[in-house]
Copies of this chain bind each other. A is one copy, B any other.
Amino acid sequence: MTQDFQEINIQIPRTDKPRVVIIGGGFAGLNIMKAIDTRYYQVVVLDRHNYHTFQPLLYQVATAGLEPGSIAGPLRHFIENNEEVFFRMAKVTRINPERRTVTTPVGELKYDYLIIACGSRTNYFGKDEAFKEALPLKQIPQALNMRSHILQNFEKAVNTVDSYELRSLLNIVIVGGGPTGVEVAGALGELRSHVLPKDYPELNFRQMQIYLVEGLPRLLNGMSDKAGRKATKYLKDFEVNLMLNTIVESYDGKEVRLNNGEIIPTQTLVWAAGVKGNIIPGLPDEVIERDRILVDDFNRVRGSDSIFAVGDIAQLTTEKYPKGLPMLAPVAIQQGERLAKNLNRAMEGKEMKPFKYTNKGYMATVGRNRAVVDMPNGWSFGGFMAWMAWMFIHLLYLIGFRNKLVVLNNWIWNYFTYDRGIRLIIRPFNREEKLKQHEAEISGVK
């Protein structure tokens, strides 16, 4: 190994092996790290965080059910004992295909193969400015912000006499009837039934309204009709107000304006309306379509044989998915595995195999004893069994044995005590800080 000092700043020893640079330690990146053969490649993983986030459980961090460390795993943990894999905490701000480098605030890094696996970010559908006060839910700090903000509002509410102000502190509006929106709404409904009235006996919780606003005429549009109907019923059990066929027009931090003219006073607007590819500048425009990178069946970026894209950021259309594969963890996991194996095969002189998505089913949980599952064979079920299946699958896919153990313990505890022990305002929500994060997020770049 010799140190290559032509690389400015990012210090990785140069070896004979081709270097694979992976942008992002999410589901796709992590599975590449696991499956790629380091007898053939040197691997460098870049991520702006030093941890992998298990996003499907973020909403439980936001609603005081889990601690952040339970759903995060240090990325360096996954490369222990493998001296051909390097990690650098760095946010990639530009890809330079002509020089075969990526740019980061701590320097440039050369690649032989580049894998773009930087996932997605919150999509405000062009209304970034109108929704700067909304609370997104894509990262752990955002989940902690939501937890602090909601608890701080209750602490303010006990001292509030103005009835309009009081309602705006108690009300919560969730935008988006997909899995995240449904899960947040259900978890908040549970908090309102079981936890908050004990904590705040001085408040009248009939004044607290939870609204779930969805533009389409149904919930869980990516799932079966049956799943959508069941989720609707379950949310009604938790007394969540469903507003279907309704669009949120704007939000000023105090009042939400809907397209039907209605105004809801609320200081908490949770944005779960959608995500978009987290595009990094530098690739030619013709490979980008609606914020995703066009790839072929081998996850190669069009027109390049050294750049790949996998997971949410990759736009791969198939017969069954003419608009592109869904932006979901299973797709990212499978693409990551396939790509790593293909890179290994290439070095073994074997042909690459095209990616084929295996639908393993879809699921969403609403709360205690209530979830919906669509099986790949078209069978759909709900209720307690679906809820058990949801928990089992999430524990199975959760990264790291310690995390599985901690989350399972918490779930058992929360189930039997009806408690949410993490209702702590550890770092108070700070509006200015939040607006800065919003700027950073909408400006893109992982």
Inter-chain contact A413/B421, CB cutoff 8 Å: no
Contact of A67 (CB < 8 Å), options: B68, B77, B400: B68
Asked if A140 is at the interface of the complex by the 8 Å CB criterion, the answer is yes
Inter-chain contact B406/A419, CB cutoff 8 Å: no
Asked if A229 is at the interface of the complex by the 8 Å CB criterion, the answer is no
* A12, closest chain B residue (CB): B202
Which residues on the B side are within 8 Å of A409 (C-beta)? 405-406, 409
Asked if A263 is at the interface of the complex by the 8 Å CB criterion, the answer is no
Asked if A144 is at the interface of the complex by the 8 Å CB criterion, the answer is yes
Where chain A touches its partner, the secondary structure class is mixed
Contact of A198 (CB < 8 Å), options: B70, B80, B202, B421: B80
Q: Known contacts A159-B107, A409-B409; decide if A421 and B69 are in contact (CB<8 Å).
A: yes
Q: Known contacts A83-B201, A199-B74; decide if A158 and B69 are in contact (CB<8 Å).
A: no
Give A9 to B159 CA distance when docked, in angstroms: 6
Asked if A103 is at the interface of the complex by the 8 Å CB criterion, the answer is no
Which residues on the B side are within 8 Å of A151 (C-beta)? 50
Distance from A158 Cβ to chain B, minimum over Cβ atoms (Å)? 7
Give A8 to B427 CA distance when docked, in angstroms: 27
Asked if A155 is at the interface of the complex by the 8 Å CB criterion, the answer is yes
Give A426 to B141 CA distance when docked, in angstroms: 7
Which residues on the B side are within 8 Å of A419 (C-beta)? 77, 402
B-contacting residues, A48-70, CB 8 Å: 49-51, 67-70
Asked if A270 is at the interface of the complex by the 8 Å CB criterion, the answer is no
Give A156 to B89 CA distance when docked, in angstroms: 8
Asked if A110 is at the interface of the complex by the 8 Å CB criterion, the answer is no
Which residues on the B side are within 8 Å of A69 (C-beta)? 67, 421-422, 424, 426
Give A88 to B406 CA distance when docked, in angstroms: 31
Asked if A204 is at the interface of the complex by the 8 Å CB criterion, the answer is no
Q: CB-CB contacts of A72-108 with B at 8 A, as 1s and 0s?
A: 1110110011010010110000000000000000110
Which residues on the B side are within 8 Å of A198 (C-beta)? 76, 80-81
26 inter-chain pairs at a CB distance below 8 angstroms, sorted by A residue, are A10-B159, A11-B161, A51-B424, A68-B424, A68-B426, A69-B421, A72-B424, A74-B421, A74-B423, A76-B200, A77-B419, A80-B198, A80-B199, A83-B201, A88-B155, A88-B158, A89-B152, A89-B155, A106-B159, A141-B427, A144-B427, A400-B421, A405-B409, A406-B410, A409-B409, A427-B427
Q: Which 6 A-B pairs have the closest CB atoms?
A: A76-B199, A89-B155, A67-B67, A69-B422, A67-B69, A80-B198
Q: Given A67-B70, A405-B413, 10 more contacts at CB 8 Å? A: A11-B158, A11-B202, A49-B425, A50-B155, A68-B424, A69-B426, A73-B421, A76-B199, A80-B199, A86-B202
